[in-house]
Chain A
Amino acid sequence: AQSVTQLDSQVPVFEEAPVELRCNYSSSVSVYLFWYVQYPNQGLQLLLKYLSGSTLVKGINGFEAEFNKSQTSFHLRKPSVHISDTAEYFCAVSGDYGGSQGNLIFGKGTKLSVKP
């Protein structure tokens, strides 16, 4: 069975500092990987996704993530954060089922708090 572990439940950081949000997954099949962001009292918005090809994926708002198959990781990074990046971030994985089910397995989320 697939699972996703987000190692940090909360990450405080100062504005303009770099940040890395960690995500590890377990799966016995080829995977697709996603990072979503959720601002308070809103739905989830896709930041970026890895399907295949280059292991470095660039997303919206200056975020990027690197797929590391040997370490089964998909860590999210941003070189310089802004106050507006304060939100909860979710890592998710889906398997190569080849079907229409479309289920994602989500991590428990990491709350990023950017302080001035």
Chain B
Amino acid sequence: SQTIHQWPATLVQPVGSPLSLECTVEGTSNPNLYWYRQAAGRGLQLLFYSVGIGQISSEVPQNLSASRPQDRQFILSSKKLLLSDSGFYLCAWSVGHETDNEQFFGPGTRLTVL
């Protein structure tokens, strides 16, 4: 069966510090991968998605970047965190080349920038 992992589960970082959040998927190959952010009162915002290694699409301009160094690994990064980067970050995957687009979510990372 497929599983998705995210770490760390929680993170407190000072403004201006770097960020690296990791997401890995097991039990499937060539998945589509996604990064979402939930901020209070703003619902679920798609940040990045990837349909393959090294292929990243950004949905909104921001202080963050994403990379996919391996088929089942998706990394969210920042060189210098802002207060507005605080939120709950969710990674998700879906089956590549399928049109029903059901997505499977990881447990999330709670990021607090102070």
Contacts and interface: CB of A to CB of B under 8 A. Distances in A.
Interface of A: 32, 34, 36, 41-46, 49, 51, 90, 94, 96-104, 106-109
Given A41-B110, A49-B100, A104-B46, 13 more contacts: A42-B107, A43-B107, A43-B108, A44-B103, A49-B102, A90-B43, A90-B44, A97-B99, A98-B99, A99-B99, A100-B51, A101-B51, A108-B43
A108 B39 CA distance: 11
Interface in B72-114: 88, 90, 92, 94-108, 110
Contacts of A96: 99
B32 interface: yes
A47 to B, nearest CB: 11
A23 to B, nearest CB: 13
30 contacts: A32-B99, A32-B100, A41-B88, A41-B110, A42-B107, A43-B92, A44-B90, A44-B92, A44-B105, A46-B102, A49-B100, A49-B102, A94-B99, A96-B99, A98-B99, A100-B51, A100-B98, A101-B101, A102-B49, A102-B95, A102-B96, A102-B98, A102-B101, A102-B103, A103-B46, A104-B46, A104-B103, A106-B43, A108-B43, A109-B44
Contacts of A104: 46, 101, 103
A46 B99 CA distance: 16
Given A100-B32, A103-B101, A108 B42 contact: yes
Interface of A, secondary structure class, is loop
Contacts of A45: 105
A85 B76 CA distance: 32
Contacts of B49: 101-103
Contacts of B94: 102
Interface residues of B, number: 27
Contact of B97 (A46, A100, A106, A108): A100
Interface string B21-45: 0000000000010100000001110
Contacts of B92: 43-44
Nearest to A51: B100
A32 B100 CA distance: 6
